[in-house]
Structure 1
Amino acid sequence: MISTYPYVSGKCLLDGEWIGQAEKGDVINPANTSEVVGQVAKCSGETVKQAIDVAEKAFETWSRSEVSERADRMDAAAIQLAKTLEENVTMFVRENGKTLVEAKKDLVRCVEVMRDCAAELLDWWKPEELPGKQKVQIRRRARGVTAIITPWNSPMILTFKRVIPAVLAGNAVIVKPATNCPLTIMTCLKVVAEHFPPGVINIVTGSGKIIGDLLCSDSRVRTVSFVGSTETGKEIMKKSAGKLQNVYMELGGNDPALILEDANLDEAAIKRLRMGILRAAGQVCSAVKRVYVHSSRYDEVVEKLTKEFSRMVVGDGIQPDVTMGPLNNKAQFDFAQGLIERTAHAGATITTTGIRLNPETWDAGYYMLPALVTGVHHQSEVVRVEQFGPIIPIVPFDETEEAIKYANDSEFGLRASIWTENEEAAILLADRLEAGAVFHNNHTVFSDLALDFPGLKESGFSRETKHCGLEFFADSYGFAD
């Protein structure tokens, strides 16, 4: 147990002080549901209002700080946070369910976000001269109090990719982590917050409805950044509309992978496909959730993916041999299990495979073996929904036009991938796919953390970024002679 842990368990952060709350809930280890990892405070409405007061006051001075000061503070915080990563990995695994490898990668990327954003800040903040007869500059200024609401599936990187640019842009933030696994976020943000004036970073936890309603109804909150389900995103949109808040959303996904007739399906390619499906036990918005395969390659894909899935070692992520951990919470576990049962009852073939590391303790956690689903069609429930678990339906197609139609026939449009040896054909197909980003012979994340692309349709909105998301949290204005 690390030294900072007692300071965050069951508390919230306001104006630089960690404050206990009257009501608390338990944070459960999904690998062993009888183990309580820590506690999460259930903040009252008054506490949330106090957080807005504090952030508004801090914004008055922080927004006028020099950008060089902001960058220097963030660099110093990154150095300090990097020293704590090893000791924080275990906590992250225990409250989230990721494997050690996945957890460490997420924490390392958080430090990278801090360094990359700080490095980007100075050039991005400089006034930009526009061509024309009149001298016009695009200048930037901090926007105001910023609410950041993040999910349980990839809480670290999704929180840091919003908190860090928001703070560097000169805003004061109120962070609302998911109640299922808030401890590592708060422990790491504790380190970051200590490098900034009190009130610049505040954290409240508890009921999403209570906190969300208050953050979206207060005119002092100028930006709401939300990552989570499409249903909740729509509710936030409704609440924010009355105040015309800036809203930045990353929502659900049902990413298609299109495997064409000429695809190279060697061992490396199948491994990349498997990683695109089963990363974090499939609990990733941008994971592959439906595979469309040319009929001539269908049996080959099923056979090779089944063999690849059979190598997965499922168990407590704290064990170094584990390659896939449990699902994070009971609600998601019950949904995934129910989906499997309904799909089987409808006549599909479910092939579950993989290695149970500790069969004797299997029922102690939210464990599932990877499942391949065959004998389904495009309209099957398991194909249409966001499974958010280690479940993948595989659907054959005969013509490329049919595959494009299937891929686009969804309310979601987050990511997609095209598997073919013909890059020119892949580009032409990508132009026709309704997705925020399309990968060629892979289905992954952007290695350059300065880049991001929004989803289309009900997968969210914003715009593509080349500046670590800084532009999402600042206002641009024109200055003219």
Structure 2
Amino acid sequence: MISVFPETSGQFLINGEWKKTQDVANVINPAKATEVVGEVALCSETDVTKAIDAAEQAYKVWSRTSVEERAERMKEASQKLSRVIEQHVSLFVRENGKTIVEAKKDLLRCVEVMSKGADNLMEWWKPEPVEGQAQKVQIRKRPRGVTAVISPWNSPMILTFKRAIPAILAGNSVVIKPATYCPLTVISCLKEIEASFPPGVINVVTGSGSVVGEALCNDTRVRTIAFTGSTETGKQIMSQSANSVKKLYMELGGNDPALILDDAVLDEDAIKRIRMGILRASGQVCSAIKRIYVHKSRYDELIDKLKKEFDRVVVGNGIQPDATMGPINNQTQYKFVTELLERTKQSAAKVETAGRKLDAASWDEGYFMLPSIVTNISHDSELVKTEQFGPIIPVLPFTDLDEAVEMANDTEFGLRASVWTANEDTAIAIADRLEAGAVFHNNHTVFKDLRLDFPGIKESGLSRETRWGSLELFTDSYGFAD
């Protein structure tokens, strides 16, 4: 079955001109694997070089554009995008697998990133005086140059816009590489806004990481790379970028622990927050809860309540309003998660599958999985040690809080964590000991204020927290003194 393709199918953008190539790959609907949603262009190394050429030339003009004009153009672009959000929801669901609610929320947050980023720019750009010096000193800011934005398939819209928009606002030009599995909505939305900026400020190239990604990393004119994706790919990008000194911003993999203490409030709202922390986007979230450590005195209660909450989950095609969880995004990830679950079942662990199928007749047509709770599992098991990136959650009891913290930290990852307790002081004391870029109290979610960004530590990321919508990540500061 082939549907009508979106206008941007198979297109890429260089210097304000939308182009096509004969070398393309299909973009598949994960809820119906026989449906081709559109095509993605497989750009060549030459295409990437031309995109960087265009970005380099555009930077010379855009970097000298006043902050007032940059903010005004971004406001205009945000208004353009806000007017077409509704017409992009269906496309996003069909290529990504999110539910309608999840997809629309991501798209609206992209508009918010643009409008609030423009609002922040003027205040943030002001020179900062350094007090108490023997001479008059200011800290001033300037853009860095060509910026590469390499985004993932799990949340491609928000994780593209949260990197590209502040880079543009700060005066940089960008070359964006969307994920091959899920590029169409990103490209279509960029087509809505790119004309608000001079040609070459926004460029889009698509294709494999081994060609497009490597070419972006190798080019010495690329001064900054913003990447969201797996830790292994992040390491490859670091290696490929080593021929020049680039600024790297990376949000990488996670194996987030949730610690549930003996005094935790496990009412209906709390259990719903835990479920959302696990199953948002079918568990395909870097900062989802990947393992739970619960005090032994609350273990049976949590398992019982979590089972009942999981049983309310309706898995199906995200385009159907009754679906509360969609499919796994692609065949490769589906194979990984299902095989991991099968190996877990063959061990001594107890796997209990919950939820219901929205449409049993079409179940095998997509990459659908019901959510599973795993108990009687050891801390050293594959499921606990691996970033499963799917709707499976291992739950382990503890009696000693120090041991629980030690187990929570016993991973190469350090993206997010959460502490569930009635005592905020206790939560803060534990948070100080947890090795994570951010710790939530009685929740495991995202920051509601999109200006806030807290990359992970250890192998979960590079760069540090920002309170200005990531504007800091795409600039250099310099001292001006008399």
TM-score range, shorter chain: over 0.9
Checking the alignment, whether the CA contact within 8 Å between 1:151 and 1:177 is kept in structure 2 is yes
Partner of 1:395: 396
Partner of 2:223: 222
Alpha-carbon distance in structure 2 between the residues aligned to 1:340 and 1:463: 34
RMSD: 0.9
CA deviations over 1:10-33 (Å, ceiling 9, x no partner)? 011011111001200000000000
Alpha-carbon distance in structure 2 between the residues aligned to 1:214 and 1:479: 36
Checking the alignment, whether the CA contact within 8 Å between 1:45 and 1:214 is kept in structure 2 is yes
Residue type matched to 1:328 in 2?
Answer: N
Alpha-carbon distance in structure 1 between the residues aligned to 2:410 and 2:193: 43
What is the TM-score of this pair, normalised by structure 2?
0.98
Partner of 1:36: 36
Partner of 1:145: 146
Checking the alignment, whether the CA contact within 8 Å between 1:31 and 1:364 is kept in structure 2 is yes
1:238-257 aligned within 5 A: 238-257=239-258
CA deviations over 1:294-350 (Å, ceiling 9, x no partner)? 011111111100100000000000000100000000010000000011011112111
Alpha-carbon distance in structure 2 between the residues aligned to 1:390 and 1:445: 18
Residue type matched to 2:114 in 1?
Answer: M
Residue type matched to 1:348 in 2?
Answer: A
1:120-139 aligned within 5 A: 120-131=120-131, 132-139=133-140
Partner of 2:451: 450
Give the secondary structure class of the aligned counterpart of 1:320.
Answer: coil
Q: CA deviation at 1:219?
A: 1.0
Matched residue count: 478
CA deviations over 1:194-225 (Å, ceiling 9, x no partner)? 10011000000001111121111111100011
Partner of 2:117: 117
Give identity over the alignment, percent.
Answer: 63
1:355-374 aligned within 5 A: 355-374=356-375
Checking the alignment, whether the CA contact within 8 Å between 2:5 and 2:37 is kept in structure 1 is no
Alpha-carbon distance in structure 1 between the residues aligned to 2:216 and 2:289: 33
Alpha-carbon distance in structure 2 between the residues aligned to 1:215 and 1:34: 33
Partner of 2:163: 162
| 2:23 is the alignment partner of 1:23 | yes
Give the secondary structure class of the aligned counterpart of 2:196.
Answer: coil
Residue type matched to 1:69 in 2?
Answer: E
Partner of 1:325: 326
| 2:105 is the alignment partner of 1:105 | yes
Alpha-carbon distance in structure 1 between the residues aligned to 2:213 and 2:40: 17
Partner of 1:334: 335
Relative distance call for 1:6 and 1:322 in structure 2 (3 A) is: closer
Residue type matched to 2:67 in 1?
Answer: V
Q: CA deviation at 1:461?
A: 1.4
Alpha-carbon distance in structure 1 between the residues aligned to 2:344 and 2:315: 22
Q: CA deviation at 1:5?
A: 6.6
Partner of 1:406: 407
Alpha-carbon distance in structure 2 between the residues aligned to 1:192 and 1:453: 27
Residue type matched to 2:399 in 1?
Answer: D
CA deviations over 1:338-383 (Å, ceiling 9, x no partner)? 0011011112111001010000000000000000001101101100
Give the secondary structure class of the aligned counterpart of 2:318.
Answer: coil
1:59-98 aligned within 5 A: 59-98=59-98
Residue type matched to 2:170 in 1?
Answer: A
Q: Which runs of 5+ in 1 are unaligned?
A: none
Alpha-carbon distance in structure 1 between the residues aligned to 2:214 and 2:450: 31
What is the TM-score of this pair, normalised by structure 1?
0.99
Q: Which runs of 5+ in 2 are unaligned?
A: none
| 2:57 is the alignment partner of 1:57 | yes
Alpha-carbon distance in structure 1 between the residues aligned to 2:393 and 2:257: 10
Checking the alignment, whether the CA contact within 8 Å between 1:147 and 1:223 is kept in structure 2 is yes
